[in-house]
Amino acid sequence: MLHVYKVADFSISIVAMLGAAALYALSSERTQLLRNVDYSVLVFFAAKFVVTSSMWQSGAVSIITGWLPDPSPADEAQSINVITAASLALSQVLSNVPFVALYNFVMIDSGFGEEYVAQWLMLAAVSTVAGNLTILGAASNVIVIEAAEARGVRAFSYFEFAKIGSVITAANITIYYGFIYFVL
């Protein structure tokens, strides 16, 4: 259906809103649906993207990524290592999804087009598992822990999460490296 998206020039956001509006319109429990929405989560997640966009527009991302070497399309191993390091480190600051929204521009500006499958796969893979490294690595971690604590469940501390998350993240990245280098 992506060809329809390109022809009709639909925004994915508008498609999602239309789907939600249709479900809401067809529901017999509209008031209850609106009451059950956790608006603080929506604000939290939206704010992450506002901050991320502001960082890009202000040039702060260039300053932060200036500490890392630019990924080079000419050197697959170097680019994969830089993408891995950037994904792991910056996902802990920005959260993994807003990080990808930003680093996508960095990669395009560095010359990575659609033919650089290994680099784009590494960005997708490592940024995803970077969310497992610490609580701050993915907004979903914060949301789940906040929801658990609101219900009286003792959640992970930052360091408990990181202790387990570092093992899981290292194992996943090892598998992804192997796949990208030996299978692709």
Q: Which contiguous run of DSSP H or E holds residue 45?
A: helix 39-58
pLDDT exceeds cutoff 90 at 122: yes
Number of domains in the chain: 2
Residues 165 and 119 grouped into a single domain = yes
pLDDT in tens, 15-45: 888 888 888 888 888 888 888 888 888 888 7
Residues 174 and 95 grouped into a single domain = yes
d(CA 65, CA 76): 19
Residues 72 and 141 grouped into a single domain = yes
Both structure tokens of 11: 């925004």
pLDDT in tens, 140-168: 898 889 888 889 999 889 999 999 999 99
Range of the domain at 60: 39-182
The number of C-alpha atoms within 13 Å of 89 and in the hemisphere containing its C-beta is: 12
Residues 82 and 139 grouped into a single domain = yes
Residues 11 and 75 grouped into a single domain = no
pLDDT exceeds cutoff 70 at 13: yes
pLDDT exceeds cutoff 80 at 7: no
Residues 28 and 118 grouped into a single domain = no
Residues 168 and 132: beta-carbon distance below 8 Å:
yes
Residues 53 and 19 grouped into a single domain = no
pLDDT in tens, 62-119: 787 778 888 999 999 999 999 999 999 989 988 898 889 888 888 998 999 999 999 9
Residues 64 and 30 grouped into a single domain = no
Residues 161 and 110 grouped into a single domain = yes
Residues 27 and 46 grouped into a single domain = no
Residues 49 and 32 grouped into a single domain = no
Which pLDDT score, from 0 to 100, does residue 1 have?
Answer: 47
Residues 49 and 91 grouped into a single domain = yes
**Other beta carbons less than 10 A from residue 44's beta carbon:** 15
Residues 123 and 108: beta-carbon distance below 8 Å:
no
